[in-house]
Structure 1
Amino acid sequence: MAQLLPATQPVRFLTETGTPVADRPAYPEPDQDLLLSAYRKMVVGRRFDTQATALTKQGRLAVYPSSHGQEACQVGAVLALDSGDWLFPTYRESVALVSRGIDPVEVLSLLRGDAHCGYDPGEHHVAPQCTPLATQTLHAAGLAYAERRKGSGRIALAFIGDGATSEGDFHEALNFAAVFRAPVVFLVQNNHYAISVPLSRQSAAPSLAHKGIGYGVPAEQVDGNDPMAVLAVLSAAAAHARAGNGPFLVEAHTYRIDAHTNADDASRYRSTAEVDQWRQRDPIARLEAYLRGRGALTDTVVAEVAAEAEEYAAALRTRMNADPPLTPTDLFDHVYAEPTPQLREQRAGLLEELVEAR
């Protein structure tokens, strides 16, 4: 079994200014192509996030939980997995979903109120975004166990926030996964607030990663704003699970720059100085500085990626400004695989009324 205790300090590869740390962590360094891919996806993801936030102000989205500042965690998780592996997101992982290649309009269907899930989970191997805290951890553990029983070689990764580690479902999922050696990675994005409740009022543990010890789950903590470190640790965690060693718990120390959602006033529970301090640890600027220092990133490439991000946002804006098509019979067509006689009767009745109303 892997060492249960996480490192005493979060694993880091880069300082806040993007220079390599003096003491190299005991993890393989991600290759340059992977880092360039992470940079591109983070830049596009942040522009998507900014555009989605603007759409709430235009009345095109009912609500949007921003992940500004947490891009390294969301993109790093996607890149650490194979395309056949499963993701179990919360409501805040929209950037992870678009980084996975899901149509951004389909990603935002839940937040616009069109449907509980606008994309095909089976096609993308991404579960519906979960609003109740921690319930997706049980789903991830169960599916991962099923994949193990089938011998598919696939694993699952469940996103979770720091506040959700206080929920019973999280602990049940850890226990089940450990006992049945389910190949699942639990990624806790510790952004220091459960909406308005600070971490100090949530847990007295040395770190949230330490919560794995009691269940026999090995864990690690990582600087969640260091894209290199996130990729290295999550890749190791995924390899651990894929090799048949059971679950792995990762705590990523990060920060939510924007409010909890567009309906939240974050100034009521945190200071501008605190937010500004975390802005200096920006994951995109950090990786960009490192790649420029290595000669892997030029002004031309930076401009190309920025232009790609703007084009992506413009296309999303245009599509979201069009009213979605409404089909009344969807009320009945997506309840059961085989509709019941009662549903068929109600559906026929609705169609009859619609014809009479014309």
Structure 2
Amino acid sequence: MSYLAITDLQKHYDSYHALRGINLSITEGEFVVFVGPSGCGKSTLLRTIAGLESSTGGTIELDGRDITELASSKRDLAMVFQSYALYPHMTVADNLSFALRLAKVPDEEIKEKVRSVSASLQLDPLLERKPKELSGGQRQRVAIGRAIVRQPKVFLFDEPLSNLDAALRVQMRLELARLHKKLGTTMIYVTHDQVEAMTLADRVVILNAGQIEQVGTPLELYRKPNSRFVAEFIGTPKMNLMPVDSVVRDGETLNLKLLNSQVDFPANRLPGQLPSSVILGIRPEHMSIVPEGGQISGVVELIEHLGSEAYAHIQLGSGQTIIVKASARSELQDGQAVNLLIDEAEVILFNENDRVVSVIPEEA
């Protein structure tokens, strides 16, 4: 049974249609991440669930109760914002306990809840400090702790780590994952960072132009995208896309002709009719640079050395530049001619409408 059920949710801002019929079911205890480009509707969806924005159609049900028209304070949800939103004149302890005191929770119960949350988030040494005396990571932990003490049915996170530096974001991601495992509470998290989405989520919801493009586990979205948008959005660097000049069927094989080269593709991986226009997609990590042979050749434009790995930007004969994962100790030079081998089992085909028209074999 769905714990949080969103049915045909709509949101209009005058003539602008921000949410276009969102349907989503979230089970109890799940960690779900909303991700997508700026303006896709992910924060609007989160805020509408929270009751900070009113919907203009559809329903939201939580644990069997319709909360669509309820005030945000009555929804049994807790939200953590990007800006921390701490009270600057209050100590950490007072910030943690404020909502409980407002709800007239008994003092002993408040003390116990604050003590428990403070210990779990390692805030004990900071309880008497004020927000201005804290680092960004410490402030975010306080903001998370303030949400935890309320013991809501669902936690909502609106890009909570975007103000932190890279190293601190990694640390806070780990703390959030541990926190979810410890609490077992349903969490919904909004981010524009696909790395956060892939590392934190049980399931990822990819949004585009106010609609859900695809929902799945991180691995499902990476391995089996259903559209060009999802395929390009998931994965760093993003998927290489190359137009196919022609397709010739040779028995059980499709010969994909591109750039005066050929990629063989099993015909049984095409579940429907061959489209009139085909685009070949292949990820940088599913291509390799070989001394000879391969299906494509090109010239090295740039090498990105990232320590544990390297990426080669290679210009093809068509003028298009693609990215190929290379050895971390690669001695490739700018301007060097190279041969490229494609892992044919990892090829994905798209039609003229940017939909996937091939399947990845289960054993690949």
Q: TM-score, normalised by structure 2?
A: 0.27
Q: Which has the larger radius of gyration?
A: 2
More strand by share: 2
* Higher RCO (CA < 8 A, seq sep 6+): 1
Q: TM-score, normalised by structure 1?
A: 0.27
